[in-house]
């Protein structure tokens, strides 16, 4: 009887154990798709060729079943679209990855796709959505332990909060990102953290700290591995440009000139990042003006042409510098003309901070005695920006609060479900034990009765 009882209990425990067993192996990517990825990652090729390769990869993935390879590679496709400045396609690919991940309950890709979506809305300056998706991604770190996603997410949150002048919380998030990477040898990620800290300290006029972190970002590019070397020259140029502008803002024009020249000598920005190339040209032009050097207007004009060629929303930065240039040389009409152009550009793109600078320049250079009107507009907009920043900070705090509450509710529901599951299995086990014991008792009694009758 004991043998039968042991056998039944063993079968029951084996059946009732919940195990996630995966027997299906995912088919690898075909060699043709691997070759297309090589093309997509080759920054020396034209944007047209890289886009063609990305499109073919996307066509293949669309036909594939929803497995982790498909979800992961849709994010790679999104990343490649971002590298060629095709932000709408970047968003669509990231959104597909997110939807597939949620459907498959793939927390890792869900978190990473939230990070990608946050990055997209940050690029569009849609801060509410950017903060929402970035914060959602950050809350999944305890499950995924994906340091890459967590680092990028914390950086995005820091950048968003810096944009509404919540410098304390911005610094908090970027320091958290640095802590995530403390024991990590991912130098590309560390570059991003150092770069963000440099910009944060520059904006708060802590110039020594800003220089230290921009210099750390510059130096760390020398430690990039083979895979990261694709980004090395572009990011090196970015850091040199950041330091050049930092020096220029401090009035250290000769030091700035050296860094501008080094940035230009690297020679990768025209093809790899035309937005930053235009930014280089216009700031370099203004710095040369401050040094009384020649070739100022050719650089300004070239910067505007680059802005126009990529339909840059940042054209106003060049227009503002041109307005300042003409104001410096006492040409008020031209200064007002470019300040007015910057005003219309910023108003169209919703760039309130730049719009405020444009209005201030218009007030300083308007020759039609409308100075008082422009200063009044300036003060009204300044108050509006301050109120908007305060409202944004409150919205972000509310997103944090609501997200945390949802997490707590979900955890509570999961605990209740686990408790109910545990109760179900305990009750089932007891029922089976009672049934087995009852059967054994019945068998034993029947056997005794049979033996008694036999004698």
Q: Is the pLDDT of residue 125 over 70?
A: yes
What integer pLDDT is reported at residue 281 of this predicted model? Answer: 96
CA 212 to chain centre: 24
Cα–Cα separations (whole angstroms), residue 102 to 77, 94, 106, 114, 147: 18, 12, 6, 11, 20
Q: Which has more confidence, 66 or 446?
A: 66
What integer pLDDT is reported at residue 407 of this predicted model? Answer: 61
User: Is 322 within the bounds of a domain?
Assistant: no
What integer pLDDT is reported at residue 327 of this predicted model? Answer: 94
User: Is 93 within the bounds of a domain?
Assistant: yes
**Under a CB-based contact definition with an 8 Å cutoff, are residues 137 and 149 in contact?**
yes
What integer pLDDT is reported at residue 411 of this predicted model? Answer: 56
User: Is 416 within the bounds of a domain?
Assistant: no
DSSP assignment of 329-348, as one string?
TT-HHHHHHHHHHHHHHHHH
Q: Where are the alpha helices (DSSP H) in 41-106?
A: 47-63, 68-83, 87-104
Q: What long-range pairs does 211-214 form, CB within 8 A, spacing at least 24?
A: 211/243, 211/246, 214/239, 214/242, 214/243, 214/246
What integer pLDDT is reported at residue 11 of this predicted model? Answer: 44
User: Is 95 within the bounds of a domain?
Assistant: yes
Single out the residue of 317, 351, 316, 319 nearest to residue 335, CA to CA. Answer: 319
User: Is 49 within the bounds of a domain?
Assistant: yes
Number of domains in the chain: 1
Single out the residue of 110, 106, 167 nearest to residue 133, CA to CA. Answer: 110
Rounded Cα gap, residues 164 and 167, in angstroms:
8
Range from 17-21, 98-102, 341-345, 358-362 carrying the lowest mean pLDDT: 17-21
This prediction's pTM: 0.70
Q: Is the pLDDT of residue 12 over 60?
A: no
Q: 40, exposed or middle or buried, with CB in 10 Å at 0-12, 13-18, 19+?
A: buried
User: Is 440 within the bounds of a domain?
Assistant: no
What integer pLDDT is reported at residue 344 of this predicted model? Answer: 93
- Domain span at residue 70? 31-105
Q: Residue for token digits 């680059």?
A: 306
User: Is 77 within the bounds of a domain?
Assistant: yes
Q: 205, exposed or middle or buried, with CB in 10 Å at 0-12, 13-18, 19+?
A: exposed
User: Is 99 within the bounds of a domain?
Assistant: yes
Rounded Cα gap, residues 97 and 115, in angstroms:
12
Single out the residue of 45, 50, 128, 55 nearest to residue 89, CA to CA. Answer: 55
Residue 76, number of CB atoms within 10 A of its CB: 17
SS3 for 103-148 is HHCCHHHHHHHHHHHHHHHHHCCCHHHHHHHHHHHHHCHHHHCCHH
What integer pLDDT is reported at residue 255 of this predicted model? Answer: 97
What integer pLDDT is reported at residue 416 of this predicted model? Answer: 58
Which pLDDT band, with edges at 50, 70 and 90, does 297 fall under?
Answer: very high
Which pLDDT band, with edges at 50, 70 and 90, does 55 fall under?
Answer: very high
Percent of the chain whose pLDDT exceeds 70:
87
What integer pLDDT is reported at residue 17 of this predicted model? Answer: 46
- Per-residue pLDDT reduced to its tens digit, 416-455: 565 656 666 777 777 777 877 878 777 777 776 666 555 4
- Straight-line distance from the first to the last Cα atom of the chain, in angstroms, rounded to the nearest whole number: 23
- Per-residue pLDDT reduced to its tens digit, 252-276: 999 999 999 999 999 999 988 999 9
Range from 300-304, 309-313, 331-335 carrying the lowest mean pLDDT: 309-313
Per the prediction, the chain carries an average pLDDT of 85
Which pLDDT band, with edges at 50, 70 and 90, does 33 fall under?
Answer: confident
Q: Average pLDDT of 51-80?
A: 92
- Per-residue pLDDT reduced to its tens digit, 331-366: 999 999 999 999 999 988 888 889 999 999 999 998
**Under a CB-based contact definition with an 8 Å cutoff, are residues 181 and 195 in contact?**
no
For residue 347, give both structure tokens. Answer: 């108003």
Q: Is the pLDDT of residue 239 over 90?
A: yes
**Under a CB-based contact definition with an 8 Å cutoff, are residues 293 and 269 in contact?**
no
Q: Average pLDDT of 41-50?
A: 87
What integer pLDDT is reported at residue 423 of this predicted model? Answer: 65
Single out the residue of 77, 119, 125, 75 nearest to residue 97, CA to CA. Answer: 75
Q: Is the pLDDT of residue 188 over 90?
A: no
Percent of the chain whose pLDDT exceeds 90:
51
């Amino acid at each position: 009887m004991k043998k039968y009882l042991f056998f039944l209990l063993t079968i029951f425990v084996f059946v009732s154990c919940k195990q996630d067993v995966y027997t299906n192996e995912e088919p690898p990517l075909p060699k043709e798709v691997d070759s297309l990825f090589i093309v997509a990652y080759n920054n020396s090729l034209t944007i047209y060729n890289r886009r063609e390769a990305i499109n073919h990869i996307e066509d293949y993935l669309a036909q594939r079943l929803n497995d982790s390879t498909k979800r992961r590679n849709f994010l790679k496709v999104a990343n490649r679209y971002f590298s060629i400045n095709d932000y709408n396609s970047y968003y669509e690919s990231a959104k597909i990855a997110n939807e597939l991940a949620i459907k498959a309950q793939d927390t890792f890709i869900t978190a990473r796709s939230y990070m990608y979506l946050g990055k997209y809305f940050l690029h569009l300056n849609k801060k509410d959505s950017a903060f929402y998706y970035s914060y959602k991604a950050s809350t999944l770190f305890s499950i995924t332990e994906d340091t890459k996603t967590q680092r990028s997410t914390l950086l995005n949150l820091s950048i968003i909060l810096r944009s509404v002048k919540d410098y304390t919380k911005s610094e908090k998030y970027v320091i958290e990102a640095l802590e995530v990477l403390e024991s990590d040898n991912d130098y590309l990620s560390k570059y991003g953290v150092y770069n963000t800290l440099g910009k944060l300290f520059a904006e708060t006029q802590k110039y020594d700290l800003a220089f230290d972190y921009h210099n750390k970002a510059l130096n760390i590019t020398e430690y990039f591995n083979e895979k990261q070397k694709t980004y090395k020259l572009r990011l090196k140029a970015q850091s040199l440009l950041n330091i050049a502008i930092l020096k220029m803002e401090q009035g250290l024009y000769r030091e700035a000139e050296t860094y501008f020249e080094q940035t230009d000598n690297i020679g990768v920005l025209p093809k790899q990042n035309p937005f930053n190339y235009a930014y280089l040209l216009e700031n370099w032009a203004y710095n040369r003006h401050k040094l009384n050097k020649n070739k100022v207007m050719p650089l300004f004009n070239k910067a505007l042409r680059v802005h126009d060629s990529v339909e840059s929303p940042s054209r106003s930065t060049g227009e503002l510098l041109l307005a300042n240039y003409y104001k410096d040389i006492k040409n008020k009409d031209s200064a007002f003309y470019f300040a007015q152009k910057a005003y219309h550009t910023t108003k169209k793109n919703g760039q309130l901070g730049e719009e405020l600078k444009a209005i201030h320049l218009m007030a300083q250079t308007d020759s039609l005695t409308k100075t008082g009107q422009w200063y009044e507009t300036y003060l009204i907009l300044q108050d509006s920006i301050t109120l908007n920043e305060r409202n944004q900070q409150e919205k972000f705090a509310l997103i944090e609060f609501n997200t945390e509450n949802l997490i707590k509710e979900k955890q509570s529901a999961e605990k209740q479900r686990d408790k109910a599951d545990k109760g179900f299995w305990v009750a089932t086990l007891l029922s089976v034990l009672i049934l087995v014991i009852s059967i054994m008792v019945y068998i034993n009694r029947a056997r005794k009765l049979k033996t008694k009758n036999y004698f």
